[in-house]
């Protein structure tokens, strides 16, 4: 059975972009792939975290996967730091990764600007750890949003380089990026992606926002000049809102445009708030019903299954490289 691997960082609340750009695909893929979905806590510590909050966030991300439909009977759900081979392979891949290629990573450049006081080695090395996450499990596909494409391409380059130096060891995985939803933009600024670390909470809709907050954020969302409910290259704000509406309601953008023909922004925003609130309320009732101890058990079992695969791959790497 072909494999799929992906992960999310346990930093703050997950938002609609994380779901529409990535996790929505995971839920589909678990039906036809051997799926590994990871909570990447070692990535999260590349920016300063409060230990108590981090512990809670790790559990919350796992609960979010489950409440969004990732099924532990079909998928292996686990925490990155529970499988030490992730960090071990990262060290090995560091010896073939080039400074120049890591310096080109746009996410590093952005984060270095954002965290000027803490540009640590881990932040720079982040994409190599991500390559290790992926390559340990030999997945064919890695479902991610557009912003992670460059990292998956680096992963492919590192796999090919290792293979040519030491013999075929790794599969070169492909990024799986949706046509729609791969880059959900900020509600307050449609030129910037929706982000957990945005300066203003009005930028994103967190999956744990209350219905009142969701309605308020949508009513404040930036719109384009003009008054019609239409998407288009010159209408980034409406295109973004229509994309969210379309993906959550399973209707085409064309249909939604027809439904709102002759109506104004206020009507459209009311409709969008309804669609988002319904989705979020269903999600939250599943999230709140999850028992922390049961979730911890799922993560323990997931780590045990992931370890079997990761240990085997790491042994192969060591043998190929001549590590006794
Ligand atoms: P992270 O935690 O920032 O985001 C998790 C996933 O959500 C996607 N995403 C978006 N998609 C659409 N629109 C947006 N505005 C948006 N914001 C985020 C991301 O592309 C991602 O798929 N480095 C990764 C985590 C990671 C990983 C991995 C992913 C570590 N190891 C191995 C895949 C495979 C990250 O920071 O994602």
CATH code of the domain covering residue 222: 1.10.240.10
Each residue of 35-68: pLDDT tens digit? Answer: 999 999 999 999 999 999 999 999 999 999 999 9
How many angstroms is it from 202 CA to the middle of ligand 1? 20
| Domain range for 234 | 201-287
Catalytic-residue membership of 193: yes
In a domain, 42, yes or no: yes
Contact 96, 162 (CB under 8 A): yes
Q: DSSP per residue over 117-141, as a string?
A: GG--HHHHHHHHHHHHHHHTT--SE
Bridge partners for 143 per DSSP = 176
For 117, 147, 254, the CA distances from 18, given in Å and listed in that order, are 27, 11, 24
CATH number of the CATH domain containing 70: 3.40.50.620
Out of 13, 26, 144, mutate this one to test ligand 1's pocket (max ligand atoms within 8 Å of CB): namely: 144
Same domain, 169 and 212: no
Each residue of 288-306: pLDDT tens digit? Answer: 999 999 999 999 999 999 9
Contact 294, 66 (CB under 8 A): no
Number of domains in the chain: 2
Q: Which two tokens stand for residue 82?
A: 């529970």
For 113, 156, 172, the CA distances from 134, given in Å and listed in that order, are 27, 10, 10
pTM exceeds 0.95, yes or no: yes
| Percentage of residues in the chain having pLDDT higher than 70 | 100
**Strands of 141-143's sheet in order across:** 75-79, 34-39, 3-8, 141-143, 174-176
Q: Classify residue 148 as left (phi > 0), alpha (psi -120 to 50) or beta.
A: alpha
In a domain, 9, yes or no: yes
Contact 42, 224 (CB under 8 A): no
């Amino acid at each position: 059975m072909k494999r799929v691997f992906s992960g999310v960082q346990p930093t703050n609340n997950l938002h609609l972009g994380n779901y529409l750009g990535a996790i929505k695909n995971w839920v589909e893929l678990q039906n036809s792939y051997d799926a590994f979905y990871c909570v990447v806590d070692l990535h999260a510590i590349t920016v300063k975290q409060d230990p108590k909050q981090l512990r809670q966030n790790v559990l919350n991300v796992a609960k979010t996967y489950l409440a969004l439909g990732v099924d532990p009977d079909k998928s292996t759900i686990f925490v990155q730091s529970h499988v030490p081979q992730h960090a071990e392979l990262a060290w090995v891949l560091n010896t073939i990764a080039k400074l120049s290629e890591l310096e080109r990573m746009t996410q590093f450049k952005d984060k270095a600007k954002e965290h000027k006081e803490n540009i640590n080695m881990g932040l720079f090395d982040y994409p190599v750890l991500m390559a290790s996450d992926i390559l340990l499990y030999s997945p064919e596909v890695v479902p991610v949003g557009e912003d992670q494409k460059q990292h998956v391409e680096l992963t492919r380059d590192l796999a090919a380089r290792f293979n040519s130096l030491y013999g075929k060891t790794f599969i070169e995985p492909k990024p799986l990026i949706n046509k729609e939803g791969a880059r959900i933009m900020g509600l307050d600024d449609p030129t910037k992606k929706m982000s957990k670390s945005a300066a203003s909470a009005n930028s994103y809709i967190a999956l744990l926002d209350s219905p009142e907050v969701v309605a308020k954020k949508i009513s404040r969302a930036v719109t384009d000049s003009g008054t019609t409910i239409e998407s288009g290259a010159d209408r980034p704000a409406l295109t973004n809102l229509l994309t969210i509406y379309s993906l959550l309601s399973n209707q085409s953008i064309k249909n939604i445009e027809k439904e709102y023909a002759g109506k104004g922004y206020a009507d459209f925003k009311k409709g969008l708030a309804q669609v988002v609130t319904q989705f979020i309320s269903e999600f939250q009732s599943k999230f709140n019903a999850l028992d922390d101890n049961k979730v911890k058990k799922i993560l323990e079992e997931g780590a045990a299954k992931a370890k079997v695969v990761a240990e085997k791959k790491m042994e192969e790497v060591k043998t190929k490289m001549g590590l006794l």
